[in-house]
Amino acid sequence: VALCEAEAAPPARSGPGVVEPHFNWKLFWQFLRPHLLVLGAAVVLALGAALVNVQIPLLLGQLVEIVAKYTRDHVGSFLTESRSLGTHLLILYGLQGLLTFGYLVLLSRVGERVAADMRRALFSNLLRQDIAFFDAKKTGQLVSRLTTDVQEFKSSFKLVISQGLRSCTQVAGCLVTLSMLSTRLTLLLMVATPALMGAGTLMGSALRKLSRQCQEQVARATAVADEALGNVRTVRAFAMEQREEELYGAELGGSRCKAEELGRGIALFQGLSSIAFNCMVLGTLCIGGSLVAGQQLTGGDLMSFLVASQTVQRSMANLSVLFGQVVRGLSAGTRVFEYMTLSPCIPLSGGHCIPREHLRGSITFHNVCFSYPCRPGFHVLRDFTLTLPPGKIVALVGQSGGGKTTVASLLERFYDPTAGMVTLDGQDLRTLDPSWLRGQVIGFISQEPVLFGTTIMENIRFGKLGASDEEVYAAAREANAHEFITSFPEGYNTVVGERGATLSGGQKQRLAIARALVKQPSVLILDEATSALDSESERLVQEALDRASAGRTVLVIAHRLSTVRGAHQIVVLAHGRVCEVGTHEELLKKGRLYSELIRRQALDAPPPETPR
């Protein structure tokens, strides 16, 4: 019975045919080492419980012997004779219960602590991976390694210690008892049990496969629901509720069919196995009975034999379940450890910093070539050379998809250039401390700011952990955000909802600006910071940006050219190279790419402020 229930447990999602790395025993040992003492205690208690369990059949047999004696000749007091045996049995039962309680408590303590340590280590290592790593992976997969895989590994581990140890001891112990009781019966049992186990295992593996398919189908249905609920605005806007319902219904129907098939399989298995177990009992009784009749065995011994053989069979059934669980646990553990040992190319910290008083904030791209690691053949930047003079505003314009955001990513050191180098005050970025660079030098404001689902205060403070309330207010004022924040009933304690969903685009953007300004960056990158906004919010944001730009080295990336006229220098990016450099007037006079872009935008939409 236990076999079938475990078969229905969710299986591992290992892709077929994928060569997986091996399980990292060394790393596992490191997680286990701090808990060895407790684990050892758990093992001792589990062994104790198993050994006590082995004693029980013998005592039961003796008790039956006494009962049999009293059914034959009714002399003496049954109670007096059986009292000591009964007490002994009661003590053993109590002891067994106590030991079981003890080892399960200790084991769950070890299991939970190891799992928490593993999660912490995995999360911390995931967070320090390169941005390129995240380009190639789905967030859902990474999260499932943190949750499902660790969970699976933990439960396998606990099961191996509790069930595995116990079952092995019981099988061994009971086999000794059995052979002491009757060698002939034991030999018979040794032939019958493995045959049945074999049949059971075969059926079990078929059920496991079915259960895996069932799980995958459920996952498909969940994915449909997840996508529809997560993007409910889009679904609503296209009036697609009906279609999503049908889609979900279809997947659900599939998973129901599979689950029912699995249910029938399990039912068949349980039916057959109960017949098999009962036949074993009957067979033992018949053969044993003939031995008793031939006076080769006492009735009590037969009873002991029956109980012990049941223990053996139950334990072996447990072991076969355990085998499947171990396979799943190991592959889950492999997946967990895989990302725990991965080291990023760009470390989070290390390298030197330039003292604040010496920092000028001059940035140069020297003949930079770059292609994204996940698309190596595709050259985004070729021989790109650009200087951002300290305290000046440089605008980068060009076609969408031309590589403007890529330039900003290289400056943030999300990636390293394939060739060439980027320098800050003449020093290669690769020799500088990345966390200092990102945390204190560069303020990055992107087109789609992402806020965290906490208060406005905490969101702004994300820019600088130790910032005082005053610093936060100052940054918010500079970002034109103070006014709207204080107009909320909860003020700075307003919770912004998941990803800032309860704010308008312009408000989100101003909070993002405040978040970047609170760290007082020397270099500011504005990646199309206003292009998604309506003209009123654009004016407010632009005003904040103009104020924030004063005295800083600024790289403005813009798609809408009206926003870059005031820049000290405008750089036109095309085909991964710098094509034109100059001020707005100079470039217009040249009459090439820039003036062409201006003309096209003027045709697309009338500029917000026409020159009088």
Task: Give the Cα separation of 361 and 442 in Å (integer).
Answer: 9
Alpha helix ranges (H) inside 412-504: 434-436, 456-461, 469-478, 482-487
The yes or no reply on residue 563 touching ligand ADP (CB under 6 A) is: no
From the list 179-187, 188-196, 396-404, 562-570, the region that binds ligand ADP by CB under 6 A is 396-404
Contact 439, 588 (CB under 8 A): no
Nearest residue (CB) to ligand ADP, 403 versus 434: 403
The residues near 224 (Cβ < 8 Å, ≥ 6 apart) are 244, 247, 248, 251
Q: What is the CA radius of gyration of the chain?
A: 36
Q: CB of residue 560 vs Mg ion: minimum separation in angstroms? A: 13
Q: CB of residue 224 vs ligand ADP: minimum separation in angstroms? A: 27
Task: Give the Cα separation of 188 and 445 in Å (integer).
Answer: 78
Q: CB of residue 519 vs ligand ADP: minimum separation in angstroms? A: 24
Alpha helix ranges (H) inside 479-534: 482-487, 505-517
Task: Give the Cα separation of 561 and 397 in Å (integer).
Answer: 7
- Judged by CB under 6 A, the number of residues near ligand ADP is 12
Contacted entry of Mg ion, ligand ADP, none for residue 120, CB cut-off 5 to 8 Å set by kind: none
Which residues are at the interface with Mg ion (CB under 5 A)?
405
Nearest residue (CB) to ligand ADP, 12 versus 380: 380
From the list 206-214, 302-310, 399-407, 430-438, the region that binds ligand ADP by CB under 6 A is 399-407
Site for ligand ADP in 421-440 (CB under 6 A): none
Site for ligand ADP in 125-184 (CB under 6 A): 135
Nearest residue (CB) to ligand ADP, 336 versus 408: 408
The yes or no reply on residue 405 touching ligand ADP (CB under 6 A) is: yes
Query: How far is residue 509 from each of residues 139, 247, 299, 454, 566, measured CA to CA in Å?
Result: 24, 36, 86, 16, 21
Task: Give the Cα separation of 111 and 482 in Å (integer).
Answer: 49
String marking each residue 467-506 x if it binds ligand ADP according to CB under 6 A: ----------------------------------------
SS3 assignment, position 164: helix
The yes or no reply on residue 406 touching ligand ADP (CB under 6 A) is: yes
The yes or no reply on residue 403 touching ligand ADP (CB under 6 A) is: yes
The yes or no reply on residue 402 touching ligand ADP (CB under 6 A) is: yes
SS3 assignment, position 558: strand
Tell me the backbone φ, ψ of residue 403, rounded to 5 degrees.
110, 15
Contacted entry of ligand ADP, Mg ion, none for residue 372, CB cut-off 5 to 8 Å set by kind: ligand ADP
The yes or no reply on residue 386 touching ligand ADP (CB under 6 A) is: no
The yes or no reply on residue 526 touching ligand ADP (CB under 6 A) is: no
Q: ∠601-479-511 over CA atoms, to 5°? A: 90
Q: CB of residue 555 vs Mg ion: minimum separation in angstroms? A: 12
Of the candidates 506, 400, 396, 380, the one whose C-alpha atom is nearest the C-alpha of residue 449 is 506
Site for ligand ADP in 351-380 (CB under 6 A): 372, 374-375, 380
Residue 250 structure tokens = 């279809």
Site for ligand ADP in 277-316 (CB under 6 A): none
Helix and strand counts by DSSP (H, E) for the chain: 21, 10
From the list 177-185, 264-272, 386-394, 398-406, the region that binds ligand ADP by CB under 6 A is 398-406
Task: Give the Cα separation of 472 and 476 in Å (integer).
Answer: 6
Residue 84 structure tokens = 């000591």
Burial zone of 593 (CB within 10 Å; 0-12 exposed, 13-18 middle, 19+ buried): middle
Contacted entry of ligand ADP, Mg ion, none for residue 442, CB cut-off 5 to 8 Å set by kind: none
Contacted entry of Mg ion, ligand ADP, none for residue 400, CB cut-off 5 to 8 Å set by kind: ligand ADP
Q: CB of residue 562 vs Mg ion: minimum separation in angstroms? A: 18
Nearest residue (CB) to ligand ADP, 135 versus 245: 135
Contact 339, 142 (CB under 8 A): yes
Contacted entry of ligand ADP, Mg ion, none for residue 519, CB cut-off 5 to 8 Å set by kind: none
Nearest residue (CB) to Mg ion, 334 versus 405: 405
Q: CB of residue 531 vs ligand ADP: minimum separation in angstroms? A: 10
From the list 91-99, 107-115, 137-145, 395-403, the region that binds ligand ADP by CB under 6 A is 395-403
Of the candidates 177, 185, 179, 189, the one whose C-alpha atom is nearest the C-alpha of residue 294 is 185
The residues near 425 (Cβ < 8 Å, ≥ 6 apart) are 354, 358, 359, 360, 361, 362
Tell me the backbone φ, ψ of residue 21, rounded to 5 degrees.
-65, 160
Nearest residue (CB) to ligand ADP, 149 versus 580: 580
Chosen residue from 242, 400, 487, 610 binding ligand ADP by CB under 6 A: 400
Contacted entry of Mg ion, ligand ADP, none for residue 403, CB cut-off 5 to 8 Å set by kind: ligand ADP
The yes or no reply on residue 417 touching ligand ADP (CB under 6 A) is: no
Q: CB of residue 401 vs ligand ADP: minimum separation in angstroms? A: 4
Q: Which residues bind ligand ADP (CB under 6 A)?
A: 135, 372, 374-375, 380, 400-406
